[in-house]
Structure 1
């Protein structure tokens, strides 16, 4: 029974875990190189247990500490006897007889060195030999040996003292680190250098005598100097380290990051930061993803700025105003629902919707513009009008499918500003969204024209992880491949920044679908580009929210994005998902469904039910013999008149449209002897009916006038202006006057010489 008790006690005497001390969070690149680390919670630089011990270090360590390591059961009685004899003869401790296994037990227990403690260590050492292999014991020792200060373990010591990975150490460097745990204080620069050098050289001499190294290697090793100062650990991706530490604290992780690409992008960001900081713009972030694997290839959370400029804020994960970068999602949603065609004209005129007055970034108007050009030019007014047409609540509900965590409030909270930056999202979520859209096209083409059910998923950061896209289905995941493809085709036509304008004329240029965004007040600038292989996202601004002049997506973020694409491999453009397209006939000028009255063309659109209306911009008109005037049955014999189809825009759209389209021909006037039953050919440009207007004072203290303006299909017609039934002025050619109405409600009326009348009501505050 006593023997059984002793056996059981011996079996359970060794703790299940030798070391319960915290370890640093260590991130490696996909190649296994150190990207960065976060110190352990106890303030020690202690990496997780090594995967293997380098052969050079192992030989040095065994020759210095325990030459019979692979032959003893955890203790060496011969060494112990010699040590006891030497210590008794000297009257003090001059020699140790512990094996590496015993030293490992002592490191784990961290007790005072006494003879009774030696007995305990011996018992536990033999027990450890039964539990672990010799290789595992070596890894534990190398990972927990002290190397001076707060440096613990070979991994950290190799970086701190030589700036190398352990397997890159030379024989001299390995010997230096092998003798240090025996006397860690010797490493401090400027102290004990001769003692450390002597110990290292004695070990090197032993290696030569044991024929582990040859004479030439020995002599060259003696010439190597000792470390004079500690090296900083690599900090290639400090914000990624912090991000991963929140989820995997104390772990060693091999990430998906490409070290070479990360280094190149760090250099690019550093270069642009130098230029941006001259405008007091201090922060930027870049994220690069592989579309096919969803792996994050580069993660730059901020610029190399100072603490005062919030350099530690991870701007990849920070939610910021989206600007215009979600406009492509609305464009895709409307194509997918059959409510939009790429060449369909949408109004781009002064607009007021329920008191909200959006403006284009350039504060100009096109009158009417095709939907794809409106997206390529990032026009705000067409986007707001399209959102109103599509339905704010419907679009808000669809955004949930992308997993944009920053957009977490109901539709009424955002209103129509949702499409112009009224919501917030992160670079991480936006890049993920564009990668998911690109992957939808890729998978549709590589499968039997099918979709994966789990297409919209999160990116991965750990190298050995893979993405589960789910099962294939004929049903689309969120948007169909054709709608996404047409969106990317429109985004490809965006004018590139200065220096890249003529990209399409070079065979080596990359085809990139890209979108910029600028938030209100120039606080955030975005640029996100996508190809069939990669997504590159860039944010530029100030982390504290300070806006700066000239900070826009095109001028600040896009140049960084294109520099990043330049260091990425050249990829192919998306293959057209032919099975998801159908041909349709549309009006050549308006882009709406073709009618008999308009010239038509055939285009490919997503194969689905189409809810776009037939073209209403073409009118069949009767012209007199010379084609200068319109006629009707009240004034001419229609059998002798000419019948033509005429492209006619509404007056307000035509007013702005013809400024940039000199070929646009207004509808010929009606001959004077003909009756006019058509709608009034006038429309107010400003103000809109129901507007509330505040009149401010100028620098001289005088009240500024209210400038009233209208568009007329025949500008040469006289227009008479009235304010509350009081005649104010008359205009010709340029229909614009200034008024000074008193506070309160007013009615402004315009009456032309042909008898047409329009009016608006306003409130002056």
Structure 2
């Protein structure tokens, strides 16, 4: 009897429907259980891992499964794995006969494919579920290759306790990567998914050893290994108590957790750019210093190493990880934490001023007591140089010259420059920080700081490669994962900082004397050239050291995560020794090439460091950044008119011009001169005027160091409740001259040589008048604040 067309149509629909059902049976994602976050070094070795959100150690599916495990699991579970299509009917029929004969389930007959299905579904094992798994196994074989199916099994099989998957089991039971396990170790793990309860320490060891040894004999029988190897493998011990997983980069692991979504990485596993050997050594060095510093209640230390050539993170230690002591706050990642940078931004100001034509490398900067709108910066040593070369001020990390430089450059301009360079924590307007910006009055992260210096290094490194042009991508942030997206080159003629300014800045940073070496390191050819800078925050809360070479940028922070300050917590003593120990781990290389086309040879006044003027007697040729041509000429060398003997200064009112000697003289303002001549014995004071010579139009001979004109001062109470005093301080060009002091036109006192006077004027505005013995006058005003109005 022939079927009608309608019957054929119904049959076709049924077949198509069944086919679609079959094809759609398998979910798009077979396993939906959460996986552990895993961070690997660049060589693939495990650095850190975190338990999955469901409390299981379960690593993501690996790219490949060790051959030993494949051989072991196939020999133990499914010897015809590569020849069937998901179901081994021979094994199933054998299992049915054995179960009927034993009147209980003694053999399952499931293939690895069927076990993958069962692991993914976790349903009760009934006859109907078994049949359903058979169908799904066929479907799985259509979608996945044999290696992929073994990979799914290896990643999701139970290995006892809360351990899921081969990789987690290898680390938990043997403390090593699965690829490094021996035949005996791998055979032990291969039998566990079949009986995961056997792995409990101190229990079932005899049964576990027997299962392991039976498998080894089976491997020999199937010619995977020889019998001798099997016999030797039987002598290996079985695992005892589970081992803790490595925690060699726990803070980077947490960073990866937080940033995974933004990085658009689907897996919870990441192969980082970290060098495992360097990471382990950095951990050991920081641990050693941490043990030493904790005696002074300094509990935290962190370090970051960047590869300037590639822009990759080489080592990332956010803190010394000590989870057993929560009071130490070792879980806080100090690489990401905003902290006061201390003096570590000073090189950026120095480079900016060179770049924009404000100074030359050796330009003299004032270093005198300073008060700016109530702000009084102090040098670390509480001393003054009067005037100091800009590069020396940087290498000595003097605060007052830095503030003077920022006052000249304008803090608003520097604020904008820092943002362009990558300092991302300046969340307040520029006026909020003011001049304190250069002394650590803002907050930065180690990540931003290191990346900013790396941008400068990369810019200078690429001088020749980019033919003097600039690529803004040089300031892109470092990356800690592979693969790094290549940015298209976008060469430009100008950058945030030019090659010449960066080169001069690194030269100045290289001159700092290294801790403990007393300057002798320069005598050793094996010493690595490093440009570096330290920083100490107000209140001794943060100690910094950042160093760089053409190949690496290293940044170190030492302190307490809770912000507690400690005596001795200063950059040069706490962070710098760590910095140089870390540099000893890194390979040495050539120093930066001189960017000659971005430098200009100009005439420079040797004594002042300014562009030479017509009155500078000692002129040298010096390579400076191109913008140096815009700087002003030396303001300190002036022509002085002397009598015929060269002993006295004169004017045309008391000496014939034909009898005068006209000499160039290095003349600093009185306040600068007062301190400068103390440390510079070769400084020549101006000769006095010839007695009786008219002084009108002469140079200013006095300067008030404190208080400055228009300043507001506050006089505190002493411990006994009496009103305190303020110390007035003045400078006179003639060191032996007398100064007569007057307040509000009332004579107070006379000083000679050292012109300091302690007074206690009442609250209100006062006029201070100074008169020297030659009648020179200096008049200024200041205000004494009332204690009730003091903010």
> Helix, strand or coil for the counterpart of 2:771?
strand
Alpha-carbon distance, 1:208 to partner = 1.9
Please name the residue that 1:733 is paired with.
753
How far is the alpha carbon of 1:466 from its aligned partner? 4.6
Q: Which residue of 2 aligns with 1:715?
A: 735
Match of 1:190 among 202, 207, 229: 202
CA contact (8 A) 2:358 2:628 kept: no
Residue of structure 2 in register with 1:479 after alignment: 497
- Contact map agreement 2:321 2:331 (CA 8 A) in 1: no
1:658 alignment counterpart: 677
Match for residue 271 of structure 1 among 266, 272, 288? 288
In 1: Cα distance, 2:417 partner to 2:740 partner: 49
CA contact (8 A) 2:359 2:628 kept: no
Give the C-alpha shift of residue 3 in structure 1: 2.5
- RMSD after superposition: 1.5
1:595 equivalenced with 2:613 (yes/no): yes
With 501-510 and 551-560 compared, the bigger mean Cα shift is at 501-510
1:259 positional shift: 0.3
Unaligned runs of 5+ in 1: none
Alignment partner, residue 337 of structure 1: 356
Alignment-derived partner of residue 374 in structure 2? 355
Q: Aligned to 1:455, what secondary structure does the other structure show? A: helix
Task: Judge conservation of contact 2:354–2:628 (CA < 8 Å) in 1.
Answer: no
User: Aligned residue pairs: how many?
Assistant: 764
Between the aligned partners of 1:469 and 1:700, the Cα distance in structure 2 is 70
Task: Choose from 559, 570, 573 the match for 2:591.
Answer: 573
Q: Of residues 273, 280, 287 in structure 1, which corresponds to 2:304? A: 287
Q: Equivalents in 2 of 1:70, 1:734: separation in Å?
A: 98
Shift in Å, 1:175:
0.7
Instruction: Give distance in 2, aligned partners of 1:138 and 1:52.
Output: 9
Q: 2:512 aligns with which of 491, 494, 508?
A: 494
Per the alignment, residue 462 of structure 1 pairs with 481
**Cα distance in 2, alignment partners of residues 748 and 247 from structure 1:** 62
**Could you give the per-residue CA deviations for residues 643-663 of structure 1, whole angstroms, max 9, x where no partner exists?**
211101010000000111011
Quote how far apart the aligned CAs of 1:362 are.
1.5
Shift of 1:500: 5.4
Name the counterpart of 1:242.
254
1:226 aligns to what?
Answer: 238
Does residue 1:527 correspond to 2:545, yes or no? yes
Q: Distance in 1 between matches of 2:76 and 2:780?
A: 97
Secondary structure at the counterpart of residue 761 of structure 1: strand
Distance in 1, matches of 2:749 and 2:683, equals 30
CA distance in 2, matches of 1:126, 1:449: 63
1:550 to 568, 578, 583: 568
Partner in structure 2 of residue 635 of structure 1: 654
Write out aligned runs for 1:80-119 (5 A). Answer: 80-119=92-131
- Displacement, 1:364? 1.2
Contact 2:354 2:627 in 1 (8 A): no
Deviation at 1:701, TM superposition (A): 4.2
State whether residues 287 and 537 of structure 1, in contact with CA within 8 Å, keep that contact through their aligned partners in structure 2: yes
- C-alpha separation in 2, matches of 1:319 and 1:685: 37
Name 1:5's counterpart in structure 2. 17
Look up the match of 2:775. 755
Contact 1:293 1:467 in 2 (8 A): no
Deviations 1:2-37 (A, max 9, x none): 333222221221112111111111111111110111
2:706 aligned partner: 686
Alignment check: 8 A CA contact 2:603 2:612 kept:
yes
Name the CA distance, whole Å, in 1 between partners of 2:699 and 2:666.
16
Instruction: Measure how far apart 1:469 and its partner are.
Output: 5.6
1:253 alignment partner, SS class:
strand
Deviation at 1:629, TM superposition (A): 1.4
1:50 alignment partner in structure 2: 62
Structure 2 counterpart of 1:134, from 129, 134, 146: 146
Counterpart in the other structure of 1:75: 87
Deviation at 1:179, TM superposition (A): 0.5
The alpha-carbon distance between structure 1 residues 629 and 691, as it changes in their structure 2 partners (threshold 3 A), is same
Task: Label 1:257 to 1:203 Cα distance change in 2 as closer, same or farther (>3 A).
Answer: same
Deviation of 1:735 after TM superposition, in Å, equals: 1.6
Q: CA deviation at 1:245?
A: 1.3
3-state SS in 2 of match to 1:425: coil
With normalisation by structure 2, the TM-score equals 0.95
Deviations along 1:238-257, one digit per CA (max 9) or x if unpaired, are: 00000011122752111100
Q: Which residue of 1 aligns with 2:638?
A: 619
Distance 2:44 2:19 in 1: 44
C-alpha separation between the residues in 2 aligned to 1:758 and 1:467?
65
d(CA) in 1 for partners of 2:670, 2:394: 24
User: Does the 8 Å CA contact 1:25/1:248 hold for their aligned counterparts?
Assistant: no
SS at match of 1:417: helix
Structure 2 unaligned residues grouped into runs of 5+:
1-11, 262-266, 787-791
Partner secondary structure for residue 708 of structure 1:
strand
Distance in 1 (CA, whole Å) between partners of 2:756 and 2:373 is: 25
2:409 maps to 1:390? yes
Q: Distance in 2 between matches of 1:511 and 1:668?
A: 46
1:453 touches 1:469 (CA, 8 Å); kept in 2?
A: no
Report the 3-state secondary structure (helix = DSSP H, G, I; strand = E; otherwise coil) of the residue aligned with 2:770.
strand
SS of 1:181's partner is coil
Asked whether the 8 Å contact 1:524–1:552 carries over to 2, the reply is yes
CA contact (8 A) 2:250 2:321 kept: no
